[in-house]
Structure 1
Amino acid sequence: MYALSIGVQSIGQSLPLPVYALLSGLNASTVGIIALAGVQLAEKAIGDRLTRILVIFGACAGLCYNTLWYFPTLMVIGGSATAIWDGWMAQHLRKLKIHWEQRQERPAVADVQIESGSPNGQQNIPLAERTVQSGTAETQRAVVQANDQFAEDSTMRARKAGPSSKTLSENTADVAESTPRQHSVVADSNVQPGQDHLISIRKGIFTTIVFFASFIAVLVARDALHPAPLILDLFANMYLAGTIIFGGGPVVIPLLRSYVVDRGWVSGRDFLIGLALIQSFPGPNFNFAVFLGALALQKSRFPTVFGAFLGGLGIFLPGITLAVAVQSFWGVLRKRKWVVDFLRGVNATAVGLVFTAVYRL
């Protein structure tokens, strides 16, 4: 990607007409590829009515405003919506629905009992309540006596069978004692060295805290300096893009466009040329940051290779750091329902931003 950026830097302001025709076709096909990626991601992200609403919400809200904090805020709102709905509102509404249906059924049951003319003045009492009321102390004592008689008969049969035989409880206890040993042997034989994670939960939490502390420090330092150095501003934008991206590579396109084109570091033409070229090469779309970082420093006193390094480091470092840190306690987090629900909403909203990128491109 750095070599491609050097070639794009050498392109003049005017190009031959066949080249313009070729670039127009590449740009159009690139937008079509992103649109296809958005449709495929939407098919995977939409699982119910709420996620369909969040995809539409992300696509429409992404067109209304454009700033650094806006896209991550939209994704947090989407994740919070699914966490609240799946964790509380859906269950509460389900209980209200069941309660309402029960209230609708009770008058119908009472009308049927009145028409049947049940004796002893119990016409308005449902059958379940009459059954509970009919239970007496004599019935309960009869049940207790029957259980005692059954226990005595079982004991007498065990004594007649002789000392060599064992009762069912003793046999069950023997099986229970032998089963764990057998399972432990099988489990030990299946364990292979190197399968356990080498990072402890304490180290994972520490790495996560250090990462977010550095993330906040970079953004605060960028805002505190007026004007901020170009290299710091570039690294902060790429660091922010690499941190807040959810849902795949196509989601990064609108963010990178707003971070580099709107600031005047890269022209819209060069951005589209690089976007068309990166679709022709293997690798993730995040490699596009290397291309943009080199172009961003082409008119500065810093070498362009330094911009390519900052762009690649800024966009890849958050994902690598969080992947290494979260794997230590992801086995615990994945069992938390609210975490899974939150990520489901974040992913659906991020897919909606893909359609925002298609519209803007």
Structure 2
Amino acid sequence: MEVQDITANDAVAARPLAHRLAETLKHFSHLGFTAFGGPGVHVVILRQRFVDQLGWIDSTTFADLFSLGNALPGPGSTQLAFSIATVRNGAIAGLLAFFIWSLPASCGMAGLAAGIKEIPETLPPIVLAFLTGLNTAAVGLIALAAYQLSSTATTERVTTLIVFLSAAFGICYHAPWMYPSIMVGGGMLTLAWDFRRAVLDKLLSSQAKRRMSKRREGAAQREAVAVAQTEAGIPMQVLPQRPESEHAQGAERSRSNSPEPKKETVRTDRELGVLDTGAASLRQRTAASQLAGSSTSALRQPSETSEQRAQDELSATQPAMMPLMVLSPALSAFVFASFVILLIVALAVRGALQNHGVEVPRALDLFDNMLVAGTIICGGGPVVIPLLRGYVVDPGWVSSRDFLLGFAILQAFPGPNFAFACYLGVLSLPSNPPLGAVLGFLGIFTPGIMLKLSLLPLYNRWRRNTVAKSVLRGLNAAASGLVYTAVWQLFLVGYIYTPPHAAPGQVNQSVSGPLTADPWWAVVAAGSFVATQSFGVLPALSVLLGGVAGLAWFGVISK
């Protein structure tokens, strides 16, 4: 399969595929085991490693890939890791990075599901306190990621407003269509803002041109009047002169008292007067021309200076974009068409079986549910988790208690939250757990990876376009605001406890609630934030310390 692109980095693309795969393996091998903290923290980890430390991509491209990952359905941080490896070393290297990134968590969650039935129905309170501490520390880390991402995205007032509105709408509404709508709205808002600014600049420029034209016309009219007066022999009143009557009387006395030869002198004086008047007119025309030129220059120079200054500042603040390795247009179109065919065939087969009254195999039903979830959900793991509950708990495949335990333990696992699909796949297919894990993995991850792989060439072609850059800036701000939504959603379900009394006829199972149950959890979340931000504590250690804080809380309240 050919994976060269039309604008690949020649120095990288010329290397053998084995070298590029080795480089990808070297720098991604540990991330699947150490990237704790959830999608928001993953973005910060990837930026520090591949932008700040290794320089694989520039900061602008990183922000664009992050925005596209959140605008497209599927796991946001996983698509970002896959895209970084793809644009650096090609599509095969990107797939290698994807498996390295996602398989450790997926295998771990599948193993947890295999042993979940051995866990008692009612967990000891100390275990629940430990799980609550893990969730609380994760809330602090995601809040830190939201803060860092929004600080980078809020470059002006409009992007600050987009971050706020994105977080506000995401917190207040939880419909699946809300997240893609927020992303589209953010991109359109920055586009409208930049278009308005461009129109205003053009309007001001046209007004300046009209004022300059009027000044030129006025200068030309004054010059025409001066020339006409000169040709008519009318002296220019440049300096104050004696009144006309006094001047005539003085001239008459001069003629009467002067001898005859003086007539030639008088005539010469008149000629000199005319010449002086012409010289004065010439000086006036020159001065008017210089005045008009200086006024024109005064109007033109600030505009040219400000424009040049803006271009210099833009080139100084935005580094040159690196060329990317992406699929050829034909191959990317083939990938996109393959995804569409896969989705249509999978849903059509299930629909045909249901219409003919045939029971749909559990394996096909599971794969279709995961495929639909991976296709329609934008916003990453915090958004897909509630949807998956309806797909596996409502049909009775997974108990509510097992779903809640898996979600709580997921916070302590590295890698993507979409690995939760492997956990649910194992529980949904008890007759064949490995098949359930594989179907869950492929169904939930395939849409996002195939869509990103097929759309990267379009991004590579249009990323230098002014309109595309404007839209991507809004997408980045909206995606940063949605990370605050993840903070809020996990905050509402982070506290795990067992109610003191169960409903009649039911087993007293653990449930989840908001972390406002005790002020201690707010302290733990803030401590996780501060420890990672100010003291450089690793996210994995912060999560573990959160669990220890939960055990300490249990030791205090149990006395």
Q: TM-score range by the shorter chain?
A: 0.5 to 0.7
Map 1:222-301 → 2, pairs under 5 A: 231=363, 234-243=366-375, 251-263=379-391, 265=393, 270-271=402-403, 273-295=405-427, 297=428
1:41 has 2:149 as partner: yes
Residues in 2 aligned to 1:35 and 1:269: alpha-carbon distance in whole angstroms: 27
Q: Which residue of 2 aligns with 1:318?
A: 447
| Counterpart amino acid of residue 110 in structure 2 | Y
Which one is further off, 41-50 or 223-232? 223-232
Residues in 2 aligned to 1:2 and 1:303: alpha-carbon distance in whole angstroms: 12
Structure 1 51/203 Cα, relative in aligned 2: closer, same or farther at 3 Å?
A: same
1:12 is paired with a residue whose SS is: coil
Structure 1 31/10 Cα, relative in aligned 2: closer, same or farther at 3 Å?
A: farther
**8 Å CA contact 1:78, 1:348 repeated in 2:** yes
Residues in 2 aligned to 1:228 and 1:348: alpha-carbon distance in whole angstroms: 43
**8 Å CA contact 1:236, 1:314 repeated in 2:** yes
2:380 is paired with a residue whose SS is: helix
Q: Which residue of 1 aligns with 2:174?
A: 66
CA-atom RMSD in angstroms:
4.2
**8 Å CA contact 2:426, 2:433 repeated in 1:** yes
Q: Deviations over 1:148-175 (max 9, x none)?
A: xxxxxxxxxxxxxxxxxxxxxxxxxxxx
Alpha-carbon shift at residue 236 of structure 1 (Å): 4.3
TM-score, length of structure 1 as denominator length: 0.62
TM-score, length of structure 2 as denominator length: 0.42
Q: Which residue of 1 aligns with 2:335?
A: 207
* Structure 1 residue corresponding to 2:115, chosen from 4, 7, 10: 7
Residues in 2 aligned to 1:329 and 1:51: alpha-carbon distance in whole angstroms: 24
Structure 1 345/268 Cα, relative in aligned 2: closer, same or farther at 3 Å?
A: farther
Alpha-carbon shift at residue 3 of structure 1 (Å): 0.3
Map 1:1-361 → 2, pairs under 5 A: 1-86=109-194, 88-99=195-206, 102=208, 106=211, 199-215=327-343, 231=363, 234-243=366-375, 251-263=379-391, 265=393, 270-271=402-403, 273-295=405-427, 297=428, 303-328=432-457, 330-361=459-490
Alpha-carbon shift at residue 14 of structure 1 (Å): 0.9
Residues in 2 aligned to 1:128 and 1:214: alpha-carbon distance in whole angstroms: 74
Residues in 2 aligned to 1:228 and 1:44: alpha-carbon distance in whole angstroms: 48
Structure 1 106/83 Cα, relative in aligned 2: closer, same or farther at 3 Å?
A: closer
1:3 is paired with a residue whose SS is: helix
RCO greater where, 1 or 2, for CA within 8 Å and sep 6 or more?
A: 1
Q: Deviations over 1:102-160 (max 9, x none)?
A: 49x959x97xx99xxx77669xxx9799569xxxxxxxxxxxxxxxxxxxxxxxxxxxx
Residues in 1 aligned to 2:350 and 2:170: alpha-carbon distance in whole angstroms: 25
Q: Which residue of 1 aligns with 2:528?
A: none
Q: Which has the larger radius of gyration?
A: 2
| Counterpart amino acid of residue 16 in structure 1 | P
| Counterpart amino acid of residue 294 in structure 1 | V
| Counterpart amino acid of residue 59 in structure 1 | A
Identity, % of aligned pairs? 38
**8 Å CA contact 2:176, 2:376 repeated in 1:** no
Structure 1 241/77 Cα, relative in aligned 2: closer, same or farther at 3 Å?
A: farther
Gaps of 5+ in 2: 1-108, 227-287, 295-322, 491-559
Q: Deviations over 1:241-265 (max 9, x none)?
A: 544666xxxx423222221224562
Residues in 2 aligned to 1:278 and 1:82: alpha-carbon distance in whole angstroms: 36
Structure 1 318/338 Cα, relative in aligned 2: closer, same or farther at 3 Å?
A: farther
Alpha-carbon shift at residue 197 of structure 1 (Å): 6.0
Q: Deviations over 1:259-310 (max 9, x none)?
A: 1224562566645543443443333333233223334x16xx7534333222
Gaps of 5+ in 1: 133-194
Residues in 2 aligned to 1:201 and 1:261: alpha-carbon distance in whole angstroms: 38
1:319 is paired with a residue whose SS is: helix
**8 Å CA contact 2:374, 2:445 repeated in 1:** yes
